[in-house]
Each structure stands twice: as C-alpha cells, then as structure tokens.
Structure 1
Amino acid sequence: MPRPPAVGTAAPDFALPGIVLPAPAAASRRDTYRLSGHAARPLLLAFYPGDDTPVCTRQLCSYSEGLESFDAVGVDVWAISRQGLDSHESFARKRGIGLPLLSDTDGAVASAYGIAVPGLGLRRSVFLVDPDGVVRWRHVALVGLSFPSRDELLAAVAAR
C-alpha cells in the first residue's frame, strides 16, 4: 500500500464525480472534479470516512460554515469519501453543506493517497495542495475521532 504523499511531493492526480449544493434550497450541481484541472488556487482535500456520522458531520459543517474564510485566503475546499452522489446530496441538504462532496466509491483515490484502511474505508486526512499539484501540508489521523479545525487549516494555508 502506498504511503501518504510527503510535504513537497506531487499529490496523486484524480478525477472523481462530485456534487455541490450552492444553497440549501438550490438545485445541486454534479460534475467531475479533477485535481489537475484545478490549477488556479490552492486546494484543501478533506478525506472523511462517512456521510452523516457524528465526527464527519462536525468536521464538514465546520469547514462549510467557514467557506468565506477559506475563500478570503484564496483556497478552495473539496471533501472526499466513499459514499455515492445521492448519499452526498442527502447529507449536504440535511446539514447545509456548501462545499463540493466527491465520491471515491471504489477507494482508488484513498489508496493512491495512502490513507485506505482495508475493511474500514479510509483515514480522516486533509492535504493542502498548491496550484502546481504539490502537497504543502498534511494531516493524517491515526484514529478518526478528531480533525484539524478551520483555524488550523487557515494557519496552514497562511504558512504556505
């Protein structure tokens, strides 16, 4: 199994289907999200184990509520898990999540990032990737009961 990409190395490229709910009552937008197609701004990739679970809900609601803060420092946020787009849409509508939720249903991207856990899914992880596709910061949890706060992520972006 690959190891998570080290700071200063290339992030594995990917193309995943995703959904974004721009506003709670708005129509969702489905698209394909490509790391290599996102070269305008730095990107935070937040891998999370599952839709509508307690810790994941706190994590993604926190990040979604802070989208203006992330935008103000010039960084985008995408969240990735193994659930399908219908599950993501239901989760986003129920919790008011406005950031793109990407579906890695076969776990290939989690495996490429070295965070797949056989039989369990993936490790809660966040990677800051610069516009050139290089990892500039990372947090890979051993146990998925905690996550980097919005302030920690903003500090990591500021330090890049």
Structure 2
Amino acid sequence: MALKEGDHIPGFTAKDAAGNLFDSRSVIGQKAAIIYFYPKDDTPQCTAQACGFRDNYSEFLNLDIAVIGISSDDVASHRDFSQKYNLPFILLSDTDQSVRKLFGVPSKFFGLLPGRVTYLIDKAGVIQMVFESMSGMKHVRKMLEKMVK
C-alpha cells in the first residue's frame, strides 16, 4: 500500500554514495525532508531532476529541508553520478528495492520501469505532499511551489 499525505514515514536504512549506512532517523524527526524515488542514475530525466534539486539546493537548505534521492542503482553508480554532476545531497542505494516497497512506490510501463515519486515530509516525519510524474523537473518545480506557499 502506497504512503499518502498524513502518513508517517517508516524508518529505513540504506547505503549512501560513500558506502556508509544511512538511517532515516538521522533526518526524519529532526528536520523536514524531500525524499524522491527515481528510476536510474545518468539517464536524461533522472539527471535533469537531480540537477534541478542541485541547482535549487540552497533554497531547500535555507528552509532547513534535507534532500534525499533513492534508486535501485548500486553505491558505485551513485558515487559516480553524484561526482559527475556535483550533487550536494544524499543519494541512497536501494538495490533490493526494499525502501521503494516500504513506501509503496509503483512501477510504470507494465512494471518494467521503477516509478518516480517525491515526498515532502515535515519535521515530525509526516508526509505533507506526494507528487508522482515521470517528468523529473516537474518534481523540483512542485517542491519549490510548495515552499513558496
């Protein structure tokens, strides 16, 4: 079952781009966060989305909002992707898709492509907004629009 607005984010762990174990409790419950699930490193839409979050990262930092990207790519892929595009935020490797399943992120195109969903979470760990679209930049725009309100 997919997480929706008003739900609490469940706790999870995953490896970050440096190979360190990330525990969601180090962020969730401490500050607001944007968690976005994307299909694959270094593809056109995913790169546009990551670079969009990068280019607007100072806006999110000023509001004390963490940005976390999650895909099923491995640690090495995330490390290379993060370095190539100078991404200042956390990328998590979900190779077994356990975190994706925990959130209930759907697959697209007859289950062949992992879905793209972004969650805006408040400081208490409650989902304030869920946005789903295969267009990567729409996610960045939606989060920025929500911040301005």
TM-score range, shorter chain: 0.7 to 0.9
User: TM-score, normalised on structure 1?
Assistant: 0.82
Please point out which of 11, 14, 19 is paired with 1:13: 11
Find the residue that maps to 2:138 and give its secondary structure. Answer: coil
* Residues 31-82 of structure 1 deviation map (CA, whole Å, 9 limit, x = unaligned): 2222222122101001110000000000001101211111011211000000
Contact 1:35 1:133 in 2 (8 A): no
Q: Which residue type is aligned with residue 133 of structure 1? A: G
Counterpart Cα distance in 1 of 2:60 and 2:101: 27
1:1-26 CA-to-partner distances (Å, cap 9, x unmatched) read x2x2111111222111112xxxxxxx
CA distance in 2, matches of 1:12, 1:157: 23
How many equivalent residue pairs?
A: 146
CA distance in 2: counterparts of 1:145 and 1:151, whole angstroms: 11
SS in 1 for 2:20: strand
The one-letter code sitting in structure 2 at the alignment partner of 1:42 is A
In angstroms, what is the RMSD of aligned CA positions? 1.9
Q: Which residue of 2 aligns with 1:63?
A: 53
Give 1:54's aligned residue: 44
Structure 1 outlier segments of 4+, above 6 Å: none
Q: CA deviation at 1:119?
A: 4.6
- 2:121 maps to which residue? 129
Q: Which runs of 5+ in 1 are unaligned?
A: 20-28
Q: Look up the match of 1:24.
A: none
2:97 pairs with 1:107: yes
Q: Letter of the aligned partner of 2:12 in structure 1?
A: F
The normalised TM-score by structure 2 is 0.87
**Unpaired segments ≥5 residues, structure 2:** none
Identity rate of aligned residues, in percent? Answer: 26
Shift in alpha-carbon separation, 1:147–1:62, aligned structure 2, 3 A: closer
CA 1:35 to 1:121, structure 2 compared with 1: closer, same or farther past 3 Å?
farther
